[in-house]
Structure 1
Amino acid sequence: MGFKDKFKSFFEFDEYEEVEEATHSERPHSEERAVQQSKQNKDNIVSLSSVQNDAKMVLCEPTEYDETQNMADYLKKRQSIVVNLQRLDTQTGRRVVDFLSGTVYALNGNIQKLGQQTFLCTPEHVNISGNITELFDEEEQFRR
C-alpha cells in the first residue's frame, strides 16, 4: 500500500470512489451505506449555541456543610461557582474546600483562591489566567 492509498484510507476517500464506480444495480446499496455514514458523522457535531448557554457563574454562600453537594452539582453541569465561606466556621470551611477540590479534580477543572475566604471553582472548559492571591500577599507585606 502506497502513500496515496494510506492517505485515501485515512480520510475514507475509498468509499466515495466505490460509490462512483458501482454499477447501476449496486447503487441503492452503496447509497444507503453513504447515508448511514453521514448520519454517524452528524452525531459528532456540537452546537456552539449550547456551549454559550452553559457559560454561567453561580455565587454560593453556604451556611452549612450539606450545601456542598449542591455546589458540586453546578460544577457537574459545567457552571463556574464563586464560594464565599464567611458564614462557616474554619473547620467546616476546610471540609467544603476539600470536597470542592476533589470535585474539581474529578472534572478536570480548576479551583483558585480569590480572597481570604472566597474561592473560584471552574469546570474543564473555563480557563483562569492570573493570580489574585499574590496581590493580597503583596498588600499584606506592604502594610507591615
Structure 2
Amino acid sequence: MSIKNKFRTLFSVEDEEYYEELAPDETEELSRRSQKQEKKDSKNVVSLKSVQAQTKVVLSEPRSYDETQDIADQIVNRRSVVINLQRVDYQQAKRIVDFLSGTVYAVSGEIQKLGPHTFLCTPDNVEITGNITQMVEDEEDFEQRW
C-alpha cells in the first residue's frame, strides 16, 4: 500500500462525491426551506444605511445677499438650515429665498416657511412632517390675546 492510500484510509478522503437527483416538487420544497432559514438568520442583520453620521441644524441670520452662498453650501453638505430674514430688507430677502429655493430643488430637498421672516431649508435626507399655520393679525390683536 502506498503512502497516499494510507492517508486516504486514515482520513477517509474520497475523490468521488455523491449526488442525488431530486424531483421538481422536492426541489421547490428545499428552496422554500432555505429561504425560511435565511429569513430567520437575517433577523440580527442591521442595515448600514440606517446608521448615519450625526445630523446638524444650522441657524443663519444673513445681513446681506452676499451670505447666501454660505447658506447654500450648508444645504449642499446635507445640513438643515433655519434662516431668519429679519435683518435684511424685503428685496434682498426675496432674492435670498429665490436662490435658496433653487439650491433646495437641486438637492431634492424642501423649503418651508416657519414664520413671517423665518424659513427652514432641508436636504433630501431630512423628512419634514406637519406644518405651521400662519395667522395674519395686527400687532394690536396679538397683544390683546395675551
Query: Structures share a fold, TM > 0.5?
Result: yes
> Hey, what does 2:9 align to over in structure 1?
none
CA distance in 1, matches of 2:115, 2:49: 36
> Hey, what does 2:74 align to over in structure 1?
74
AA matched with 2:62: P
Matched, 1:124 2:124: yes
Gaps of 5+ in 1: 1-44
Max Rg structure: 2
Superposition TM-score, scaled by structure 1 size: 0.60
AA matched with 2:94: R
SS of corresponding position for 2:100: helix
SS of corresponding position for 2:68: helix
AA matched with 2:60: C
Structure 1 runs of 4+ aligned residues shifted over 4 Å read 45-49
Deviations 1:87-106 (A, max 9, x none): 00000000000000000001
> Hey, what does 2:37 align to over in structure 1?
none
The alpha carbon displacement at 1:131 in A equals: 1.2
More helix by share: 1
AA matched with 1:99: F
CA distance in 2, matches of 1:87, 1:46: 42
How many residues get paired? 94
Matched, 1:83 2:86: no
> Hey, what does 2:95 align to over in structure 1?
95
CA distance in 2, matches of 1:63, 1:107: 25
> Hey, what does 1:52 align to over in structure 2?
53
Could you say if the C-alpha distance between residues 46 and 77 of structure 1 is closer, same or farther in structure 2, counting changes exceeding 3 Å?
farther
CA distance in 2, matches of 1:94, 1:131: 22
CA distance in 2, matches of 1:71, 1:85: 12
Q: Identity of counterpart residues, as a percentage?
A: 53
Could you say if the C-alpha distance between residues 72 and 46 of structure 1 is closer, same or farther in structure 2, counting changes exceeding 3 Å?
farther
CA distance in 2, matches of 1:47, 1:121: 23
